[in-house]
Amino acid sequence: MSKGIFVVMEQRYGKVQNVGLELVGEATRLKEDLKDDVVAVLLGHDIKGEVDKIFHYGADKVVLVDDPMLKDYVTEPYTKAVCEVIKAFDPEIMLFGASSIGRDVAPRVASRVKTGLVADTTGLRMAKTQEELDKEAAMGNATPERALLMTRPAFGGNIMATLMCPRTKPQMATVRPGVMKMIAKDETRKGELVEFKVDFTAADMNVEIVEAVKSDKKSVDLTEAKLIVSGGRGVGSAEGFDVIRDMADALGAEVGSSRACVDAGWIEKDRQVGQTGKTVRPDLYMACGISGAIQHVAGMENSELIIAINKNESAPIFEVADLGIVGDLKQILPKLADAVRKYKAQKQTANKNRLVIKDSPKRRVLFYPENGERKMF
């Protein structure tokens, strides 16, 4: 019988990336229902030093495939290595990050081992209700209690679809970076290391890497940001993002955006938050001029603190905001940025980059700057 929740780790330049650790964390939650071990698959060369880190974040076992052919990501060697791991260990579930690497290798692996793949998922859970178990059984699943239900946006993000893979194993999915949450690091946590050998041949390296050149342009990874200031259609133009950038600069935050602004060419694609962009969970998310369409909210609703600024007091964004400010962002943000800079100049503390709202996050607040009125609900 297939057994184990396997996570294919992602490493770049010999360092494990957070997306894999997020999936290990999610696998530990699935383990509560499935009762199988969480197994991380680490591919690379001279990366044994990263194994303990994976144990610290929840893996019960690490399958290490260390080979010079795996030093840099190349499609064919990585695909072969993962397929060999599947043949040897027969996993129940296998998860990949929906990164450029995961999106490249996962469908090839699924095709070779003849199983299904749900791409770009945002939610994972085991089948539990009688209705779910009956559906799995009706579709040919001999062990419906071990069925993985995988949720992803469909039809342009207008609906959320839940998919199953009832007749083939492993049950495979790619998962968006930033959606799942890492568990707390525990440096006392230990696990089992299995060193697995894959017999590569020269024919497996069908691409020659002449040189790897890092871009001079600073890459943006919103999924790692602790503070994000995002602009929506309400900023009005590409130049309108100047006040968003100024607010972000005052806070020491990253700049985000809704899809509408990216489609309009006002800002780069890698700044997009939402179902078709990045999924983030920062300590502070400021939504400025963003209406709050479900596609955007799905990418930021798990933020610790959400502050929304919008002219329309009926905007859906206020339904998920902890603090709402009704007014013109072009008038509010410059004043707020000045206030933050003055506060930071006066208070040189360890938490100077954190904006603390004393109202309970469980209580939503709408604030009207023009008359000072405050509504709580």
Over residues 95-112, the pLDDT tens digits come to: 999 999 999 999 999 999
Enumerate residues 6+ apart whose C-beta is below 8 A from 168: 114, 115, 116
Structure tokens that stand for 182 in this block: 């890492």
Single out the residue of 75, 66, 72 nearest to residue 13, CA to CA: 72
- Which residues on neighbouring strands pair with residue 153, listed in sequence order? 160
Structure tokens that stand for 339 in this block: 């206030």
User: What pLDDT does 207 receive?
Assistant: 82
Fold of the domain built from segment(s) 5-204: Rossmann fold (3.40.50)
pTM, entire model: 0.74
Per-residue pLDDT of the chain (377 residues; tens, 9 = 90+): 789 999 999 998 899 999 999 999 999 999 999 999 999 999 999 999 999 999 999 999 999 999 999 998 999 999 999 999 999 999 999 999 999 999 999 999 999 999 999 999 989 999 999 999 999 999 888 899 999 999 988 876 677 889 999 999 999 999 988 889 899 999 999 999 999 999 999 888 888 778 777 665 556 788 889 999 999 999 999 999 999 999 999 999 999 999 999 999 999 998 999 988 888 999 999 999 999 998 899 889 989 999 999 999 999 999 999 999 999 999 999 999 999 999 888 876 544 445 444 444 555 666 666 666 666 65
- Please say whether the beta carbons of 64 and 51 come within 8 A: yes
Strand 192-195 to 227-231 pairing = unpaired
User: What pLDDT does 352 receive?
Assistant: 46
Asked if the domains at 5-204 and 222-376 fall in one CATH topology, the answer is yes
Superfamily of structural domain 222-376: TPP-binding domain (3.40.50.1220)
Single out the residue of 160, 176, 179 nearest to residue 280, CA to CA: 179
Single out the residue of 85, 91, 79, 10 nearest to residue 44, CA to CA: 10
Enumerate residues 6+ apart whose C-beta is below 8 A from 248: 227, 228, 229, 254, 255
User: What pLDDT does 350 receive?
Assistant: 45
- Please say whether the beta carbons of 39 and 5 come within 8 A: yes
Q: Where in the chain are the domains?
A: 5-204, 222-376
The whole-angstrom separation of Cα 283 and Cα 61 is 31
